[in-house]
Each structure stands twice: as C-alpha cells, then as structure tokens.
Chain A
Amino acid sequence: GQQLNQSPQSMFIQEGEDVSMNCTSSSIFNTWLWYKQDPGEGPVLLIALYKAGELTSNGRLTAQFGITRKDSFLNISASIPSDVGIYFCAGRSPAYGGSQGNLIFGKGTKLSVKP
C-alpha cells in the first residue's frame, strides 16, 4: 500500500532555531496537509497545500508542495517552546477508478526542547 516517509523521526530544538522536516512518497498526491498534535489531543491542521510547487505560510510556519507531487516540506522559523509537539504530514492520493482518495499519514516528527 501507499506509504509516507517522514523525517526526521525526532529532533531537539533550541529556542530561536529554525526547524525543517519533510515527507516523501513513492506515489503522487494531489493534496498535502501538515498537522500538529499535542499530548492528549487530536491533530490540529496547520497548513494545506493543493497544487504542485505551492508555497504557503501560516505565521512562522512555511510548507511547500513538491514539484514532483511526491514530497512536501515544513519549515518553522525562530522556534519557541510552544512549538514542541508531534508534527504529521498527510497526503491525499488522486481519487480515480475505485480509489476514494484516502488520506495517508506519516509517522510523525517529534519536536522536543534541547536540555
């Protein structure tokens, strides 16, 4: 089945640092979504991307839909303590034939504060 490879699995940040994470797939997607999940809560949508090459910002967050439609990137600039959490990418495959365009999720990138 379709799989998303999200990296890195985890990273430590120091306040003020920029953070980058990405997701890659072996198949194309027509939508990329980025979510953040805090402990004990459901994922919250951060950014949605609908077109190859699209670059979208939400405050200090910027995400890009890769030109090949097989990858996406999320950058967080000047990180702050409340950025800590788990970030998930999700890709939606084109709905054609019998496929209903399911959302496939990456395994997540866990952001923690450097001790």
Chain B
Amino acid sequence: KAGVTQTPRYLIKTRGQQVTLSCSPISGHRSVSWYQQTPGQGLQFLFEYFSETQRNKGNFPGRFSGRQFSNSRSEMNVSTLELGDSALYLCASSLLSVSTDTQYFGPGTRLTVL
C-alpha cells in the first residue's frame, strides 16, 4: 500500500504571496489532517478534513485554509505569506478520524518564505 504523498517537497515564496500544498492520503483513508512543524513550536495541528468537510480546527489564523476532494485528496492554502510561516507542513491520514484512529504522516512540504 502506498503511503501518504505530499507535493511539492520544497517551496520558496516571498512575503505576501500565497501557496497551495497538496496531500494524497493512503488508499482507503478518509481523514486528512495538516500540521505545521517549526523548531520553536514543534508540531502544531492545523485542521482535519473528512468527507470534504472541515471537522476540526487548530488555533491558526484564517490565512490558513484547506479543502478535501471527493477522492479524499486534500489541499492546504496559505494566503498573504509571512516570514513566520516558514515551516515543514505535514499531512497525515487516518482511516476515519484523527480522534480515534492511528495517523500516518507524509514526508512533508518544506516552505521557505523570504
């Protein structure tokens, strides 16, 4: 079974731009969660999507948004990028729910904001 895939793996943007990251979950998994990882804050939960609906949300500003498609693939968007948005963005998939099921992570997208 293929694992979680994320594209692109690396991205460089400038302040004020917007960016879209993509995640394909493990086949059969319907829950997709997004995390931001930085050296200072560690791993922080952004949001969870299930059946094309945002089911759960962390404490991030509205500039961070996402969506999920009918095939469970998910995208995350960050608008008006700030320097502090530089981070590794991780996607994780689970069978049905981040609240009950084991999560499997993708390799991440390294975003650098200049």
Binding site for B on A (CB under 8 A): 1, 33, 35, 40-45, 48, 88, 90, 92, 95, 100-108
Known: A1-B59, A48-B102, A100-B55. A105 touches B42 (CB 8 A): yes
On whether the beta carbons of A45 and B104 are closer than 8 Å, the reply is yes
Known A41-B108, A100-B55; contact A107-B42, beta-carbon cutoff 8 A: yes
Closest to A40 in B: B107
A2 nearest CB across to chain B (Å) = 11
Q: Is the interface of B mostly helix, strand, loop or mixed?
A: strand
- How many angstroms between the C-alpha atoms of A107 and B100 in the bound complex? 22
Cβ of B64 within 8 Å of any chain A Cβ, yes or no, is: no
In this complex, what residue of B is CB-closest to A107? B42
A residues less than 8 Å from B107 (CB atoms): 40-42
B8 cross-chain contacts in A, Cβ below 8 A: none
* 0 or 1 for each of B86-114: is its CB under 8 Å from A? (1 = yes): 00001010000011101111111000000
Q: Which chain B residue has the least Cβ–Cβ distance from A90?
A: B43
Report the bound CA distance from A105 to B46 in whole Å: 13
Chain B interface residue number, banded: 20 to 34
On B, residues with C-beta under 8 Å from A are 4, 33, 35, 42-45, 48, 55-56, 58-59, 90, 92, 98-100, 102-108
* Contact with B99, one of A40, A44, A90, A95 (Cβ below 8 angstroms): A95
What chain B residues lie within 8 Å of A90 (beta carbons)? 43
16 CB-based A-B contacts, threshold 8 Å: A33-B103, A42-B4, A43-B43, A43-B105, A88-B43, A90-B43, A95-B100, A100-B48, A101-B98, A101-B100, A102-B99, A103-B33, A105-B42, A105-B43, A105-B44, A108-B42
